[in-house]
Amino acid sequence: MPEPAADLTVLDDSGLSPPPRRSSRARPRADGREVAAVFAGGALGTLARAALAEGFPHSATAWPWPTFAVNIVAAFLLGYFVTRLQERLPLSSYRRPLLGTGLCGGLSTFSTMQLEIVRMLDAHAWGLAVGYAAASIVAGYAAIQLSTAVVRRVRVRIR
Amino acid sequence: MNVLVWAGVVVIGGAGSLLRFYADGLVSTVAGRDFPLGTMVINVSGAVVLGLLSGLALSSSQSLLFGTAAVGSYTTFSTWMLETQRLTEERQYRKAVLNIVVSLALGIAAAALGRLIGMHL
């Protein structure tokens, strides 16, 4: 697993503590708008993922590009949205459920990835299975790291 | 694949995401937020169900609706990665590694087990 880059750590420690208005963690319980936002975002994310999966079918022993792509893109977007919403924008009751929980959660999938790995193992494609699992985790982690850094850098520049 | 099936994908995808939202809230209420157990429970339970579905002889529409849309939207890769990255930011490396290794090991085992069960149903 990649270590956080040194300059990131510096940025992290230099005045990135959340603004005072954030300290009150009084998030309201799920209201109608929050539920609708999760549903709408999830519907859209799932539609995009399903369309890619149907549009680019592949054999059990081929690299699962559709799943790999949506997972890494969703990880990048989630890191971006969550960091931006938590550390930059005013508290909102529906943006995170819509974009994070809904869109990115619906776009990405863990179960399909696991089943793809099982199918690779079934086909004795050991190297592919290990490579796919490792590449997904490394790229997914790096995507979060990168998008988080992008949001924080912009913020630091503005100040 | 007709329009109705794709409308089903949209509705089921929204519902699966809502189920994840509520399940995560439930697990976090019970087990706390020190470790991202909610996402792990969701992902492993989803993997066993998707494995089971893959073992059944489903039509392509059924597989799209119940597998890709329902279980696919219920489980999440992005939140798994976000929570892991946030743990390393807080220098909780042991928890971060545990979150990756245990999720992956249990996820693969769950999918394999579900598939085995599905094939014998």
The three-class DSSP label of residue A136 is helix
**Could you tell me the pTM of the whole model?**
0.87
Quick one: closest CA in B to A130, which residue?
B104
**Stretch 72-101 of chain A: residues touching chain B, C-beta under 8 Å:** 74-75, 77-79, 82, 97, 100-101
Chain B neighbors of A85, CB-CB under 8 A: none
Nearest Cα neighbor of B67 from A49, A123, A147, A25 is A49
Chain A neighbors of B54, CB-CB under 8 A: 115
Q: What is the per-residue pLDDT across A68-105, written as a single tens digit (0 to 9) for each? A: 999 999 999 999 999 999 888 777 778 999 999 999 99
Please, which residues have CB within 8 angstroms of residue A114's CB and are 6 or more apart in sequence?
B43, B47, B50, B51, B107, B108, B110, B111
Q: What is the per-residue pLDDT across B22-74, written as a single tens digit (0 to 9) for each? A: 999 999 999 999 999 999 999 999 999 999 999 998 999 999 999 999 999 99
Mutation target to probe the A interface, by most A beta carbons within 10 A, among B5, B17, B75 is B17
Q: What is the per-residue pLDDT across A28-59, written as a single tens digit (0 to 9) for each? A: 455 889 999 999 999 999 999 999 999 999 99
Measured between alpha carbons, how far is B26 from B18 in angstroms, rounded to an integer?
12
Assembly ipTM? 0.96
Chain A neighbors of B13, CB-CB under 8 A: 42-47, 50, 106
The three-class DSSP label of residue B39 is helix
